A = this chain, B = another copy of it.
């Protein structure tokens, strides 16, 4: 059984193509706006600047028919099963982005360090929990 993701908004970012995008784990992803649909406004009401959140995106330019990749697209690295990589190419291309909320303007939320292309659909936002980071 399949399920339908209906995006709740879009990323507004200076990152406009994959070649420009920093690779996983590198420094320097830019700040960006999360622009939410008016229909989800109530869900945003307790977000505050300074909050650490996980943004889930749908990586709509990814390939879904790929099960093994060269990590970071680097052909010098051995081909690796996608579930051991953060490649956008995978059966269900959901992106996970840990960011900090910088500012809020209605349904527009400014966040730090978002490695996602301009226009990327937003799926969800969740607070970071201790259990995400401790083991």
Q: How many chain-A residues does the 8 Å CB contact rule pick out? A: 52
Q: Are A25 and B94 in contact (CB under 8 A)?
A: no
A-side interface mostly: mixed
Asked if A106 is at the interface of the complex by the 8 Å CB criterion, the answer is no
Q: How far is the CB of A128 from chain B (nearest CB, A)?
A: 8
Asked if A135 is at the interface of the complex by the 8 Å CB criterion, the answer is yes
Asked if A118 is at the interface of the complex by the 8 Å CB criterion, the answer is no
Chain B's closest residue to A84 (CB) is B46
Contact among B6, B25, B133 for A91, CB-based, below 8 A: B6
Q: Are A46 and B80 in contact (CB under 8 A)?
A: yes
Asked if A105 is at the interface of the complex by the 8 Å CB criterion, the answer is no
Q: How far is the CB of A82 from chain B (nearest CB, A)?
A: 5
